[in-house]
């Protein structure tokens, strides 16, 4: 006689509940999704299995994917599809289109850079929380402080500039990152050149991310980027465990709070009154 364990029972109840909701919503084609399979049980918790990937290949795929569905999808799809090839199921069935929402810092709001958003989600798919956080901290700091993009595509899709203009983002925010590149390059935020820049940046992020995850995987991870000195000083008075503790964050503080950073329109002679 088959013995139903408590866990097995709960999973069965869960699957039935999901199936019922699915049928309630659209009535058709929902049951296939929730049919419990032995494989499905194996992958119902994170992290999923990882195998070392070739960073340059992931970068190529990220650039290609960017051209299809933008930045967040670019990085996320590249990692998942590369793992689908190396590991197989369940990466083979992951609907990576989930990541399209990150385009333009979440549907054009220019908040978190989509490439960084996709990278963080991919990291959480393959590493446990503690290791993932280390990778994300390192990746984000590298992104803030590095002159990018470096990636050179075999066939440029949007614009073929040589040399390609670079900039330091000084921020993980799409808005700041893009505008600082526009300032450095002279190109507009809605130009083909800017799209090319973000495509190449997406490839750079995918490459760096793969190198970092590979290094955690083989035990050679050593963080190289820390927050810059001035930001650390600000945090010393304003962030966690400080006297004032009236803010939180790791972004470059002075990019917004000093005159070298964000411009204040009241300081600009001749700026239209708004």
Q: Give CA angle at 135 (133, 220), nearest 5°.
A: 125
And the tokens for 129?
């929380």
Report, in Å, the least distance between residue 186 CB and ligand HEC. Answer: 23
Report, in Å, the least distance between residue 252 CB and ligand HEC. Answer: 6
Report, in Å, the least distance between residue 263 CB and ligand HEC. Answer: 12
- Residue 254: CB atoms within 10 A of its CB come to 16
Report, in Å, the least distance between residue 253 CB and ligand HEC. Answer: 3
Please say which residue, 75 or 227, places its beta carbon nearer to ligand HEC.
227
Nearest to 102 by CA among 92, 94, 93, 114: 114
Please say which residue, 2 or 243, places its beta carbon nearer to ligand HEC.
243
Please say which residue, 4 or 232, places its beta carbon nearer to ligand HEC.
232
Please say which residue, 71 or 110, places its beta carbon nearer to ligand HEC.
110
Residues making contact with ligand HEC (CB under 6 A): 173, 230-231, 233-239, 244, 246-247, 249, 251-257
Q: Which residues contact 36 (CB under 8 A, 6 or more apart)?
A: 11, 12, 15
Contact 119, 77 (CB under 8 A): no
Please say which residue, 22 or 261, places its beta carbon nearer to ligand HEC.
261
| List of long-range contacts for 7-13, beta carbons under 8 Å, 24+ apart | 11/36, 11/41, 12/36
Report, in Å, the least distance between residue 259 CB and ligand HEC. Answer: 11
């Amino acid at each position: 006689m088959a013995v139903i364990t408590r866990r097995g029972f709960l999973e069965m109840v869960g699957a039935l509940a999901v199936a019922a909701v699915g049928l309630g919503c659209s009535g058709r084609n929902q049951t296939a999704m929730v049919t419990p399979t032995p494989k499905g049980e194996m992958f119902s918790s994170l992290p999923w299995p990882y195998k070392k990937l070739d960073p340059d290949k992931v970068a190529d795929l990220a650039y290609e994917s960017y051209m299809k569905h933008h930045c967040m999808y670019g990085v996320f799809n590249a990692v998942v599809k590369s793992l689908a090839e190396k590991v197989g199921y369940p990466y083979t069935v992951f609907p990576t289109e989930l990541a399209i929402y990150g385009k333009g810092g979440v549907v054009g709001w220019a908040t978190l850079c989509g490439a960084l958003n996709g990278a963080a989600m991919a990291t959480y798919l393959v590493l446990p929380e503690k290791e993932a956080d280390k990778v994300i901290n390192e990746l984000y700091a590298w992104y803030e402080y590095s002159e990018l993009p470096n990636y050179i595509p075999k066939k440029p899709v949007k614009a073929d500039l040589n040399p390609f203009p670079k900039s330091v983002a000084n921020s993980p925010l799409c808005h700041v990152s893009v505008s600082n590149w526009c300032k450095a390059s002279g190109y507009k935020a809605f130009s083909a050149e800017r799209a090319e820049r973000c495509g190449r940046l997406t490839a750079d992020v995918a490459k760096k991310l793969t190198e970092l995850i590979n290094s955690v995987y083989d035990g050679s991870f050593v963080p190289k980027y820390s927050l810059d000195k001035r930001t650390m000083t600000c945090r010393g008075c304003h962030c966690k465990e400080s006297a004032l503790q009236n803010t939180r964050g790791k972004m470059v503080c002075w990019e917004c709070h000093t005159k070298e950073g964000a411009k204040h329109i009241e300081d600009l002679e001749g700026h239209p009154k708004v």
